[in-house]
Structure 1
């Protein structure tokens, strides 16, 4: 005689367990943002506490703790927003998984910040002001606190809206807002601000133009020739060498500056030498990789995958070296003032301050980066390894070209401009190849062939335009509030 429960009893239990399993899965999914938020808050608190313990400033620790916490918040924001521009194309081209991209970017961002970042913070602290506007140390500290918090708030708003923005411009907007309240319009260095405003237009246009030109070159020399593999054996090593030359020159300008001043001409010479060496090494490697491949576009794309991954890692290293100062530059300035030094001179960023920036960028990337990486890689325009490599190469070349011209540019604007450039070039190319030579292309067909999503394009452009005024307005309000509260150094 069987003692098993009736089938109806098991069925009821199964239904209850199934409901509980679905509820548990939904709860875990909904809780993921809260976990990220909680880990971020813990990191901010630890950074503030560590700053007080390391410096031992006693009564002056409140301002320093706030500055360290705000810097950690800004570093998290940079990791969530800015890093997507470096790894998004590789993920969109399926050369890297999301997890692999995050791991590589986190390591390279930290390495760049710690090894080659933090030369000085002159642009943040004095470059856009008349120094007399910050003769009062208390006013200077309030301005740095307001600028840090305002820029971090705005970058988070942009991240939530799905818009990659320039954290450099956000911080500059924050400093400008506080400076206008502190010293009025006369305290501003308007020529420097005009150059920064010019970069809003120059950066994406240069990046887009270079990316489109490189893609046109690759299509003409490799993709649309009869023997694609033979052409790839010739030109892929050349493109790899150009990428290596651009990065070597950039890192010579940024990394070696902590040890010795490197003029642009010497940096370009270093880049040319390393580029030739990498080209010579790449020739046999590409030939070996191409051996046995079919004469198809898919085979050509395969040859671009590894160079694309390496370029993404180098872009992350360069970004960490350059943009970590956006998070920790104001903090270093506050530390300098707290130790009794002038806020108006040039000063190096302390190592513990750099560590907050490096770790914060990596933590922010791991916790919040996947959303914008997916948007940059997949939702603006369709990328493959060839197009993504054109974007990466354009970013590297544009930075060097801008340095040669003395133009202040944004790495974010360059990278996103490169993606737009590739997409709009593909639209232009497709519009010149109608399906039937004897019939004009209908308007509906032209609309269908739009390869850049206009909604993302307009959202990103709008976010770029309002970044400086939005961050400036928030910073001005925060500075006014701190002044009214009588906040002291």
Structure 2
């Protein structure tokens, strides 16, 4: 073997060795990456506890408040990982936003909603789930709220791990119910309220799905299947934008302005009508300018729905921060109030530092663990484009307003995911209808049952997983909470 061949053989051997080392480094990176997220989350939980120690250190019962602050931070992280996906998933699935852009917008809007429009007063016992007078004393009440906080956070964490978007509000409700039963028996639970919540498991996704499917039908009939699609879009897209902005204005007036002034539903609707009309007037020339030069095909329409979809996702996140964060950190606020005053009440003022923990915890949870559920909601249930995703976002806001008007306790998570299912099942129905029409025209055309099943546009496995998680959320959180309460009370005793 010549000297040059010997050198060539050595270089090939070195290349192989370096390639193996690179593969080991890559594998190590993929293994270590989840640990980085866990490390940052743990650091935030510790910082929240230390912050509470600085504020309450040396005061009677400060250890309980410190522990509760750490649990509140843990709960907030889980909200960010699970709940926020419902707002951003459709926009990411429709490619209107990148994953990075969605995370940045959601983190900013969720935090702003919690800090600027979050409720000052929250029902510490989650809409009257248990009777506080039935609880023996303040210490028992504190242990019950601690158990509710920890159990609901654990359940949401488990749901995120298996890839199921669940309602954090329902998790808190289940936690409070389980702790109340463990502390004072079944008689302490307001079963009427629990019945309404159980009803909302059915009402929320059905309403969300029907409204989303209705808007998708409208877009198909009035824009997509018109001879001149661009002219139809110029006529109807500003109307849809006006409906969206008016709806969100009404929603935020109901949920956010109550912090500043007392506002009823009629006034909120009038505000929404005014904002909707102004939005229509402002968007019409913009849509006309944006549509110039577009080809007369459905693909061109996506460009007209991209920006409205991003705006709707941002507004949904702001509204979620204003509404749901307070519910999630409610037990923490109850513990702080009970520890400071020696008594417990049905509703308390949320301290600013508690809302800060909630706002920042959501942001950290979203950044570290949110992409998994965002992908699930946005692309793994059914295929979304900007028009379909826009229908989901619009459905979420409209359904919440209708439910508020009817006095029904609904879940924003169930509504948004129900909207995704509604769009998917409507597309299945529409495709089946067109296929049947084609088969009637071409009598010799036959499609096997197996092929029809393969063409289903909604993944049944995800559908069953999510529905099962919804059904067992309250009982699972309640059972966890009862166990945690029993452990805490025995350790304290």
Q: Alignment partner for residue 484 of structure 2, among 478, 484, 489?
A: 478
Q: SS at the partner of 2:492? A: coil
Distance in 1 (CA, whole Å) between partners of 2:223 and 2:271 is 29
CA contact (8 A) 1:399 1:409 kept: yes
Q: SS at the partner of 1:121? A: strand
The superposition leaves residues 166-200 of structure 1 with CA deviations (integer Å, 9 ceiling, x where unpaired) of 00101110000000011111111111111111111
Task: Give the 5 Å matches for 1:220-239.
Answer: 220-239=221-240
Deviation at 1:364, TM superposition (A): 0.2
Partner of 1:38: 39
Q: SS at the partner of 1:168? A: helix
Distance in 1 (CA, whole Å) between partners of 2:408 and 2:145 is 25
Partner of 1:103: 104
The superposition leaves residues 391-440 of structure 1 with CA deviations (integer Å, 9 ceiling, x where unpaired) of 00111110111111111100000000000000000010011112432436
Partner of 1:153: 154
Q: SS at the partner of 1:203? A: helix
Partner of 1:311: 312
Partner of 2:424: 423
CA contact (8 A) 1:108 1:313 kept: yes
Deviation at 1:65, TM superposition (A): 1.1
CA contact (8 A) 2:222 2:232 kept: yes
Deviation at 1:341, TM superposition (A): 5.1
Change (3 A) 1:341 1:248: farther
Distance in 2 (CA, whole Å) between partners of 1:15 and 1:447 is 47
Partner of 1:87: 88
Deviation at 1:5, TM superposition (A): 8.4
2:442 maps to 1:436: no
Change (3 A) 1:339 1:123: closer
Partner of 2:453: 447
Deviation at 1:345, TM superposition (A): 4.2
CA contact (8 A) 1:92 1:377 kept: yes
Partner of 1:242: 243
Q: SS at the partner of 1:475? A: helix
Partner of 1:209: 210
The superposition leaves residues 322-375 of structure 1 with CA deviations (integer Å, 9 ceiling, x where unpaired) of 111233111111111111153114321111110000000000000000011011
Deviation at 1:301, TM superposition (A): 1.4
Distance in 1 (CA, whole Å) between partners of 2:254 and 2:361 is 24
Which range is displaced more, 173-182 or 7-16?
A: 7-16
Deviation at 1:32, TM superposition (A): 0.7
Partner of 1:328: 329
Deviation at 1:135, TM superposition (A): 4.8
Q: SS at the partner of 1:429? A: helix
CA contact (8 A) 2:125 2:346 kept: no
Deviation at 1:126, TM superposition (A): 6.7
Distance in 2 (CA, whole Å) between partners of 1:318 and 1:213 is 23
Which range is displaced more, 410-419 or 343-352?
A: 343-352
Distance in 2 (CA, whole Å) between partners of 1:400 and 1:317 is 15
Distance in 1 (CA, whole Å) between partners of 2:318 and 2:466 is 24
Distance in 2 (CA, whole Å) between partners of 1:101 and 1:268 is 29
Partner of 1:465: 471
Partner of 1:405: 406
After TM superposition, the runs of 4+ consecutive aligned structure 1 residues lying more than 4 A away are 2-5
* TM-score, scaled relative to structure 1: 0.97
Q: How many residues align?
A: 486
Partner of 1:347: 348
CA contact (8 A) 1:72 1:327 kept: no
Q: SS at the partner of 2:62? A: helix
Change (3 A) 1:9 1:121: same
Distance in 2 (CA, whole Å) between partners of 1:15 and 1:59 is 65
Question: Runs of 5+ in structure 1 lacking a partner?
Answer: none
CA contact (8 A) 2:126 2:327 kept: no
Q: SS at the partner of 1:58? A: coil
CA contact (8 A) 2:41 2:77 kept: yes
Deviation at 1:3, TM superposition (A): 11
CA contact (8 A) 2:126 2:173 kept: no
Partner of 2:302: 301
Task: Give the 5 Å matches for 1:31-70.
Answer: 31-70=32-71
Distance in 2 (CA, whole Å) between partners of 1:210 and 1:463 is 23
Deviation at 1:104, TM superposition (A): 0.6
* TM-score, scaled relative to structure 2: 0.96
The superposition leaves residues 187-245 of structure 1 with CA deviations (integer Å, 9 ceiling, x where unpaired) of 11111111111111100000000001110011000001101101101110111111111
